[in-house]
Structure 1
Amino acid sequence: MAKPSAKGPIRTVQIFCVKCKFQLFKYRKGGKGALVKCFKERIVEDYTIEEGVCPSCNAQFARSAMIRGVPALKIVGGKVHMK
């Protein structure tokens, strides 16, 4: 499979924890579908301390994975909300 676009999308979305409404990061998202994965190279601002864990409520919202040979975060369904 092809790697994600090196240029990357322009649209930036804010990712929030559903449980406590804490802003987790800003992400350059491509497409208009649901947020399933976040490529680490597309994260603009990261507000988390530990990768995949909300610093406010300690809920795990993602786990680390390699997707198409690129490091990414696989989002756990229903744990995050994007604006």
Structure 2
Amino acid sequence: MAKPNKKGPTKTVDIFCAKCKAPLYKYRKGGKGALVKCFKERIVTDHTEQGGQCPGCGTEFARDTLVRGTPAFKMIGGKVFFK
């Protein structure tokens, strides 16, 4: 399978914790669909200390994984929202 585009999309979205509304990432997202995964190379600003855990409430919102051979965070449904 093909790797994700290195440059990626130019549109950025802000990702927040659904429980405590703490900011998690600023991410270059492509497309109009739901947020299923975040490629680590597309994260512009990271507000988390530990990958996949909310800095505000400590909730696990994502799991570390490889998608098409590229490091990514696989989001857990209902734990995050984006604007």
- If the length of structure 2 is used for normalisation, what is the TM-score? 0.99
Who is 2:10 aligned against? 10
Is 1:35 the counterpart of 2:35 in the alignment?
yes
Alignment of 1:63-82 (within 5 A): 63-82=63-82
Q: For the residues of structure 2 that align with 1:17 and 1:6, how far apart are their CA atoms?
A: 26
1:54 is displaced (CA, Å) by 0.1
- Structure 2 regions of 5+ residues with no counterpart? none
Q: Deviations over 1:30-78 (max 9, x none)?
A: 0100000000000000000000000110000001000000000000000
Partner of 2:23: 23
Identity rate, percent: 65
Establish whether residue 45 from structure 1 lines up as the match of residue 45 from structure 2: yes
Please state how far the C-alpha of 1:6 moved relative to its aligned partner.
1.5
> Which consecutive aligned stretches of 4+ in structure 1 deviate over 3 angstroms post-superposition?
none
Residues matched between the structures, number: 83
Structure 1's unaligned 5+ residue stretches are none
